[in-house]
Amino acid sequence: MKKFGFGLMRLPLKDDDVESIDYDETQKMVDEFIKRGYNFFDTGYPYHNGLSEIVFRECVIKKYPREDVIISDKMPLFSLEKEEDLERFFNEQLERCGVDYFDYYMLHNFSTWTRKVTFNLKAFEFIIQKKKEGKIKHIGISLHDKPKLLKLALDKYPEIEFVLLQINYLDWQSNTIDSRKVYNLTCEYNKDVFIMEPIKGGNLVDIPSNVKTLFEDYKPDSTPAEWALRFCGSLDNVKVILSGVSNMEQLNENLNTFNNFKPLSNEEYYMLGQAATLINQNVVVDCTACNYCINECEHNIPIPKYLRTYNDYFRLPENQNFSATGYYRTLSLSPEYGKASDCDACGDCVKQCPQNIKIPKIMEKIAELFENEE
């Protein structure tokens, strides 16, 4: 199995609507991916408001033999209310994907927020049973939480075969994400490591100018995405690196990186540490634009867009940050979206956020920054 996996989370769109998937462009990307010798696809129940799994069926399963492709999917722990939901969601996912078994299946976002429902509804026991029935080949969990919680799961359920972790060179030393610690713990338990967010939702492509200069001075022909992927691919015990690609250019860049893969040298590791330090000086909010928060907001606040705009305001030079203000005003005046000031601090979005961002507090700051100037 090759190390790069096609994440079906940020598919090409026809407009700003997350459901407006461009199926023709997606099909071309799938064909190119498979033509170049890759076959691992990753999806999830909530991706693209439920359409991601259907895209896999339409663009992959209907065109290619099932035995020639690998699919990983996830049980949406955050949507479970009763034990019967496990069977219902699982069967719905099989139907959506057009398959009768999953190669890899995991409990999605096992966390402090979902731990209670996971244990009470016996979600681990459920996927263990499905593996015995032949409907899952390999079982695991995805995790954005602390090493202590991961250790609890691995001790209690040794049947876990792999762990999907958020790993990139920016989060490697982060006290919030704890990427290095959970990676090391996964390796200690001799479990396969799956990596998500290697480019941190595009944040490691759209980097500050001083980081671009650092990269260009070191190796002019390398791209920011290549550096990010090489960091992840150079780690031991990594089975696959999942990255959401939104266009053919991104896909080809990623495939080229892995087709001609070169592990990082010690000097390059050190250089990426310098890059992380510089980036962290400009990042105010650690959002990856996973969009998990959006469906929870009754006021239709486009939270990831506002958080990115907020970051842009502080990332750009003072003589350019007016563009962030203008973008916020354009979004907030649209009848489709709520303003940051519409946030009622219900906290539902926070429970869904893998990065544990205190979203209501940030919305207050965004409203104060952008709306008071109106």
pLDDT digits (tens, 9 = 90+) for 163-192: 999 999 998 987 777 899 999 999 999 999
Beta carbons of 48 and 21 less than 8 angstroms apart: yes
Predicted confidence band at 320 (pLDDT cuts at 50, 70, 90)? low
Confidence check: pLDDT of 321 > 70: no
Fold of 4-268: TIM Barrel (3.20.20)
- Inter-axis angle of helices 224-233 and 248-259, to 10 degrees? 50
HSE toward the beta carbon, residue 371, CA cutoff 13 A: 15
Confidence check: pLDDT of 1 > 80: no
pLDDT digits (tens, 9 = 90+) for 26-60: 999 999 999 999 999 999 999 999 999 999 999 99
Q: Looking at per-residue confidence, does 312 or 251 come out higher? A: 251
pTM of the model: 0.84
Tokens of 284: 């105010």
93: region left, alpha or beta (phi > 0 left; psi from -120 to 50 alpha):
alpha
The domains of the chain are located at 4-268, 294-371
Q: Is 260 helix (H, G, I), strand (E, B) or coil?
A: coil
Report the alpha-carbon distance of residue 61 to residue 1 in Å, rounded: 18
CA dihedral of 146, 152, 154, 155, whole degrees rounded to 10: 150
pLDDT digits (tens, 9 = 90+) for 126-145: 999 999 999 999 999 999 88
Give the mean pLDDT of 259-273: 95
Report the alpha-carbon distance of residue 60 to residue 43 in Å, rounded: 12
Burial track 295-314 (b if 16+ CB lie within 10 A, e otherwise): ebbeeebbbbbbbbbbbbbe
pLDDT digits (tens, 9 = 90+) for 87-129: 999 999 999 999 999 999 999 989 878 889 999 999 999 999 9
Confidence check: pLDDT of 374 > 50: no
pLDDT at position 60 is 99
Who contacts 19 (Cβ-Cβ below 8 Å, separation ≥6)?
48, 49, 51
